[in-house]
Amino acid sequence: MTGAWILLSGAMFSFILAIYYFKRLATVQKTSKRAEEWFEESGQLKRKSFILLVGDRFDNSELAEDLKKKLIQANIPLQPSEYMGIYILAIAVLWFFCYFVLGLILFMGFLLSYLITWLASKLYLSSRQNKRNESFNKQLPEICRMMSNAVKAGQTIPQGIEMVGNEIKAPSGPEFKKMDQQLRLGDGFDEVMNRFRERVSSNEINIFVSTILIQRRVGGNLAEVLDLMATTLEERARVYKEIQTVTAESKSIAYILVIMPVLMAVMMNLFIKGFLNVIFTTFGLILLAVFAGMITIAFVIIKRITRIRV
């Protein structure tokens, strides 16, 4: 009987101890979650690469700096080493297709695979970056008016940034929340604003940040300047849409001019095995260089004609 009581007492003690530690665990997890919200960048730096050592060395090298900046601006949650891993894998898959399906020689298949992957990567990063910039530019007039109203109400610029972070949706809202957290942690105002400018490579954002920094240093009616900026940005957006509509056809022709000859050559090679192998003769290389030069010149001319700055 005494043994049963001892066993029951031990079970009750273990149960109470388990409840205590479960409550402690819940408190720690809640605290960790709040800390991750404040230090969001630390979660983004967690490794996902298969080759950790090589990946970490590449991420910390100077070669990865430019790619890392582009990934941040395009809002792609990958480390440079992970993106390069996908890049190399795409080249390998395309090379396999060119060599075993299209019947191209080894060097020709590799060259074509590299050019396709390089162009696709460049267009993908550019399109993601432009799409994100357009989203910021659409929200910027509302941000300017909201911060102008905050200044008129007697609030400081950091308080206006906090209000924008709480009221505006993504993508601007999370970025302003990040700035608010950095300011609360004691970072300098100029440093925080310059980091924001680097993360978003938009001309409108650059003007917005420069205006706030200059007005903060030299003084002046910041509320009036922000109201004027909001009106100007809305007018610029309207004119930009009109220009995009007028030049859309010409821009499409520029890309079709580059893609169509490549697709036609690949299609001919499907019907005639080894059709493209003759390019690597002396005469074929000369024709390829002349053709590539003419296509490049035509593409650059069309892009320059359709690039109208607002």
- Global pTM value: 0.68
Residue found by looking up tokens 């969001």 in the block: 40
pLDDT tens for 94-112 read: 888 887 877 777 777 888 8
Token pair listed for 14: 């273990």
Q: pLDDT at residue 310 above 70?
A: no
Average per-residue pLDDT for the chain: 80
- Terminal alpha carbon distance of the chain: 91
Asked if residues 196 and 212 have their Cβ atoms less than 8 Å apart, the reply is no
Q: pLDDT at residue 196 above 70?
A: yes
pLDDT tens for 120-169 read: 899 899 889 989 988 898 999 999 999 999 988 888 889 999 999 999 98
pLDDT of residue 299: 84
Q: pLDDT at residue 211 above 60?
A: yes
pLDDT of residue 50: 47
- How far is it, in rounded angstroms, from Cα 1 to Cα 205? 78
pLDDT tens for 11-67 read: 465 556 556 555 665 565 566 555 555 554 444 445 444 456 666 777 777 778 888
What DSSP designation does 168 have? S
Residue type, 147: M
